[in-house]
């Protein structure tokens, strides 16, 4: 969907209309995208605190949504569930379905379930399945793109949620009233514990988002000589070859958790980290949600679109002439990532530890 194209909605947004009492929200299918939709889910709940909010989600993300207090019910989509099977699961008297992904399948699920209000963006070949289509909002600026979380907040607002100006600030994305990011972090990290630093060296989307493994190893070894710390390596099974390459050169204290944790275990272990060093990954967004600051290395993607939300993060990115390209594989010399040096990453990690 082109964010610069205005679409005419089937139903005009009406800020005065109340949200119904039973709302189904269809989750995005990827961890990073799901995390960026949390402000929209919270806006729906806070606009009608008595509403019953059910999250329809792939089973792999269920443990994440269990950590979001605004969610009252989780309905899991199993790996073998057909569209008709999912429709049967949600045919339980919902008044509205809010579709966060743009897929045809997500729209067909709620259409077959006969949910009266079916709200979403037009997507591709699915407008006939919806009866309330939100207009895609133009950026409004030629120099600074809107972060993706605004895209989801816009949809919640169109559905009837109240979204105040404060909710539009990225630093407020995951805070609760009266809670700062530092307070959230302090609840997880004990001051007397050995410093734990997370590392997420992979990237689900492709190699173009991955900083060089040899340089990650250099950072770990250098930081470990200056600070008494334990590195926790995170990732999926697909990231194990990258992890093995890093581990072969390590001298410091580390624990290899790549491909060895469930999502619930990742949430628990990541919350104990003082910070996370990472590429642009779903784990980066999860850390931000947990109040764990990140040092994030960007190359082929755009941090103004998908950078970590909240406060206390550092982004390292050298804007070369061909970035952001949003490609899975670099077709030339990987200059965006090769331009990021070990010393600047070490400095960012050490400064964050001092803070």
> What per-residue confidence (pLDDT) applies to 317?
92
Backbone torsions φ then ψ of 57, nearest 5 degrees: -145, 155
**At residue 6, does pLDDT exceed 50?**
no
**At residue 37, does pLDDT exceed 70?**
yes
Q: Is the dihedral of CA 125, 130, 132, 134 positive or negative?
A: negative
Q: pLDDT over 70 for what percent of the chain?
A: 88
Residue 239 lies in a domain: yes
Together in a domain, 186 and 331? yes
Give the whole-angstrom CA distance, residue 78 versus residue 80: 5
How many C-beta atoms surround the C-beta of residue 102 within 10 A? 15
Give the whole-angstrom CA distance, residue 234 versus residue 27: 24
Together in a domain, 159 and 299? no
**At residue 131, does pLDDT exceed 80?**
yes
Number of domains in the chain: 2
Q: What is the dihedral of CA 340, 342, 345, 351, to 10 degrees?
A: -150
> What per-residue confidence (pLDDT) applies to 141?
47
**At residue 181, does pLDDT exceed 70?**
no
Together in a domain, 44 and 163? yes
Residue 14 lies in a domain: no
Residue 174 lies in a domain: no
Together in a domain, 164 and 186? no
Residue 176 CA: distances (Å) to CA of 49, 138, 281, 285: 14, 29, 24, 17
Give the whole-angstrom CA distance, residue 111 versus residue 314: 43
> Which residue is it, tokens 């606009």?
47
Q: What is the layout of strands, in order, in the sheet containing 117-121?
A: 73-77, 52-58, 22-26, 96-99, 117-121, 132-134
**At residue 142, does pLDDT exceed 50?**
no
**At residue 188, does pLDDT exceed 60?**
no
Last residue of a domain, one of 137, 168, 199: 168
Backbone torsions φ then ψ of 6, nearest 5 degrees: -80, 130
Residue 317 lies in a domain: yes
Instruction: State mean pLDDT over 116-134.
Output: 95
Instruction: Using alpha carbons, select from 24, 21, 4, 6 the residue that is nearest to residue 119.
Output: 24
Whichever domain contains 285, its CATH number is 3.40.50.2000
> What per-residue confidence (pLDDT) applies to 209?
85
Give the whole-angstrom CA distance, residue 16 versus residue 212: 52
Residue 267 lies in a domain: yes
Residue 16 lies in a domain: no
Give the whole-angstrom CA distance, residue 224 versus residue 251: 8
Give the whole-angstrom CA distance, residue 89 versus residue 12: 30
Q: 25 pairs with which residues across the strands?
A: 55, 98
> Do the beta carbons of residue 219 and residue 242 sit within 8 Å?
no
**At residue 168, does pLDDT exceed 50?**
yes
> What per-residue confidence (pLDDT) applies to 330?
77
CA angle 116, 117, 121 (to 5 degrees): 140
> What per-residue confidence (pLDDT) applies to 172?
87
> What per-residue confidence (pLDDT) applies to 286?
97
6 vs 281, residue with greater confidence: 281
How many C-beta atoms surround the C-beta of residue 280 within 10 A? 29
Together in a domain, 193 and 301? yes
Average pLDDT over the chain reads 88
Together in a domain, 138 and 271? no
> Do the beta carbons of residue 247 and residue 233 sit within 8 Å?
yes
Last residue of a domain, one of 134, 168, 202: 168
pLDDT category, 9, cuts 50, 70, 90? very low
Residue 321 CA: distances (Å) to CA of 175, 246, 280: 36, 29, 19
Classify residue 135 as exposed, middle or buried by CB count within 10 Å of its CB (0-12, 13-18, 19+): middle
pLDDT in tens, 247-284: 999 998 999 999 999 999 999 999 999 999 999 999 99
Together in a domain, 204 and 342? yes
> What per-residue confidence (pLDDT) applies to 176?
61
> Which residue is it, tokens 């400095």?
347
Residue 3 lies in a domain: no
Together in a domain, 193 and 328? yes
Together in a domain, 62 and 153? yes
Last residue of a domain, one of 168, 194, 214: 168
Together in a domain, 190 and 79? no
Together in a domain, 196 and 164? no
Domain carrying residue 219: 182-354
Together in a domain, 226 and 350? yes
Give the whole-angstrom CA distance, residue 220 versus residue 243: 13
Please provide the size of the chain in residues. Answer: 355
> Do the beta carbons of residue 292 and residue 273 sit within 8 Å?
yes
Residue 39 lies in a domain: yes
């Amino acid at each position: 969907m082109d964010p610069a194209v205005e679409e005419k909605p089937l139903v005009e947004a009406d800020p005065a209309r109340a949200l119904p009492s039973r709302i189904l929200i269809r989750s995005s299918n990827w961890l990073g995208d799901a995390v960026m939709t949390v402000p929209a889910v919270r806006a729906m709940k806070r606009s009608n605190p008595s509403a019953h909010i059910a999250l329809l989600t792939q089973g792999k993300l269920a443990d994440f949504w269990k950590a979001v207090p605004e969610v009252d019910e989780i309905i899991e989509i199993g790996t073998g569930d057909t569209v008709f099977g999912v429709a049967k699961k949600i045919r339980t008297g919902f008044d509205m379905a809010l579709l966060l992904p743009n897929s045809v399948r997500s729209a067909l699920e709620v259409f077959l379930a006969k949910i009266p209000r079916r709200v979403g963006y037009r997507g591709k070949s699915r407008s006939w399945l919806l009866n309330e289509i939100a207009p895609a909002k133009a950026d409004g600026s030629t120099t600074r793109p809107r972060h993706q979380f605004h895209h989801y907040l816009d949809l919640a607002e169109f559905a009837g949620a109240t979204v105040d100006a404060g909710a539009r600030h990225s630093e407020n994305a995951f805070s609760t009233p009266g809670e700062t990011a530092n307070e959230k972090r302090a609840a997880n990290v004990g001051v007397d514990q050995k410093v734990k630093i997370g590392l997420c060296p992979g990237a689900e989307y492709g190699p173009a988002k991955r900083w060089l493994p040899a340089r990650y190893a250099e950072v770990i070894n250098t930081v470990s000589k200056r600070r008494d710390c334990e590195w926790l390596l995170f990732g999926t099974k697909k990231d194990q070859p990258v992890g093995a390459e890093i581990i072969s050169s390590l001298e410091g204290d580390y624990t290899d958790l790549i491909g060895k944790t469930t999502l619930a275990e990742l949430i628990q272990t990541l919350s104990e980290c003082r910070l996370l060093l990472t590429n642009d990954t779903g784990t980066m967004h999860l850390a931000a949600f947990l109040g764990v600051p990140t040092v994030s290395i960007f190359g082929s993607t755009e941090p103004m679109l998908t950078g970590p939300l909240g406060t206390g993060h550092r982004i390292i990115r050298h804007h070369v002439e061909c970035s952001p390209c949003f490609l899975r594989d670099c077709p030339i010399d990987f200059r965006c990532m090769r331009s990021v040096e070990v010393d600047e990453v070490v400095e960012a990690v050490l400064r964050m530890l001092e803070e």
